[in-house]
Amino acid sequence: MTVWDDCQGILGVSFNNCSLLTQAFVHSSYLNENPDFGLASNERLEFLGDAVLDFVVAELVYKEFPELPEGELTGIRASLVCSRSLVESATLLKLGDWLLLGRGEELSGGRMKPSNLADTMEALVGAIYLDQGLRRAKRFILKQLKPSMKRIRRGSMTPNYKALLQEFVQSDKHSPPTYHLVEAIGPDHERRFTVEVFVGDQVLGQGTGKTKKSAEAEAAKSAWRNLGAKQDFPEFASLHQES
């Protein structure tokens, strides 16, 4: 049994073209040291896999939660395909074991780096899609999402809007969101906090809660919904104009 046979056994996917499977695990650092390897890095597969994931998960949450409005569906979808979720799936599948890394990346703990694991998970989805089509890729994705979907249905998992907002804002090359206390009113046992969340000097949302932490979470949720109203986050149009 080869290393890739072992990998396919754990994934539950038998590839027709094993070169696609191998490419899903090729980190760019490996090619820097092995320029004649014969395969490209996994970056293009990652790009494709990201799009396939978004589509499959969007269809899933649309069908699973017919009562929810667009903003709530967007939050659930984003929580299922965010880096943290992808890393969790990649870790369970032990994807780091098969990564092809350059020596420096290997020595710096590249097999366990969240960014490498998330990227590899997306690349693997892209490879499955190219090798066996959307139906097989969808089956693979839904299998990985099953535990998270169970938690969402039970109500024990809700979108982490602070994490989602930070990941989205920073992916758009902006500084991280900051939270500012606007007011704290009422007696100690019934304190109410109001918080605003900023990117740069622009207010994206406001929230109120019994603690500063819960107020920040509500502010992030408000910001997420406000951004979602801008045609599903194409860009921060007003922020770009100011920068």
Which residues are marked as active site?
A: 50, 122
222 within 8 A of 157, measured Cβ to Cβ: no
- Return the sign of the alpha-carbon dihedral for residues 159, 219, 168, 170: negative
The residues that bridge with 130 in the sheet, in sequence order, are none
CA distance 242 to 228: 20
CA distance 26 to 61: 31
Using left for φ > 0, alpha for ψ between -120 and 50, and beta otherwise, residue 203 falls in: beta
